[in-house]
Amino acid sequence: HVVVGVLSLQGSFREHLGHLDELFVQLNSAPEYSKYRFSSRKVREPKDLDGLAGIILVGGESTTISLLLQQTKLLEPLARLIQSGTIGVWGTCAGLILIANHVTNTKVQLGDRKYELIGGLDVSIERNSFGRQVDSFDQELSFPAAGIGSFKCVFIRAPTVTDVIGKTPVVGSNSSVVAKVYTKNEAPVEVISRVERSGKSMVVGVRQGHILGSSFHPELVPDYRFHKWFIDEFVL
């Protein structure tokens, strides 16, 4: 039984669960997947992590999700699970921010509460790289690594990957936050997509071994190919 979790504290978890459930109806009746039986699960507390083969960390507001991860006591076990390398992980948008080991553009008012990251991906992420909510946009992109020719990518106050930071923890400054837990991920960081915007080429999709990160929202378009690729390539 293959169970894929969706972190369901805040943000677009209903849309991801809807995409998985739709896809799983197809896979559960497809002859080539007959040795598997798929289901999805909302992840809201530590026990929901038991036995997962994959997890999606959804888009929303990363500062809010970070606080909720601390309150629900999910942060540490989730970070350990991701670090163990035994689970396929996909962070989209705010989820990508949370699985980065380093984040910039973090001017947020959290009072004395900490903006803690799950970590796991050896990259530095810049939040809100394309500007404010009104600067959100859609663009067709292709993903040769995924065998996806053209996919409508929705960017909503999206982050981008600005650097690969290697194995050494980066020391934080006023404008940066560093994950507490550092990955032992030995796989290289691969760029899987870029978008050209205002004359700049920005990285909006990366992979490092069992971890996938995307700046955009495949759960907001009626197209299941990206979710299917995650299942085939990272979960099975």
- Residues marked active site are found at 93, 217, 219
Q: Whose Cβ is closer to ligand GLN: residue 53's or residue 178's?
A: 178
The whole-angstrom separation of Cα 21 and Cα 137 is 27
Q: Whose Cβ is closer to ligand GLN: residue 40's or residue 66's?
A: 66
214 is annotated as contributing to ligand binding: no
Q: Whose Cβ is closer to ligand GLN: residue 35's or residue 107's?
A: 107
Q: Closest approach of Cβ 36 to ligand GLN, in Å?
A: 30
What would you report as the CA-atom Rg of the chain, rounded to the nearest whole angstrom? 17
Residues of the shown chain interacting with ligand GLN in the complex, contacts defined by CB under 6 A? 59-62, 93-94, 97, 127-128, 156-157
Q: Closest approach of Cβ 17 to ligand GLN, in Å?
A: 16
Q: Closest approach of Cβ 125 to ligand GLN, in Å?
A: 9
The whole-angstrom separation of Cα 156 and Cα 1 is 34
34 is annotated as contributing to ligand binding: no
37 is annotated as contributing to ligand binding: no
Q: Whose Cβ is closer to ligand GLN: residue 40's or residue 92's?
A: 92
End-to-end CA distance of the chain: 11
Tell me the β-bridge partners of 155: 137
Q: Return left, alpha or beta for 37; rule: phi > 0 is left, psi -120 to 50 is alpha, else beta.
A: beta
Q: DSSP assignment, residue 235? A: I
Q: DSSP assignment, residue 144? A: G
Cβ contacts of 155 within 8 Å, gap of 6 or more: 130, 136, 137, 138, 139, 195, 204, 215, 216, 217
Q: Closest approach of Cβ 97 to ligand GLN, in Å?
A: 5
5 is annotated as contributing to ligand binding: no
62 is annotated as contributing to ligand binding: yes
Extract the annotated binding site for L-glutamine. 60-62, 127, 156-157
Extract the annotated binding site. 60-62, 127, 156-157
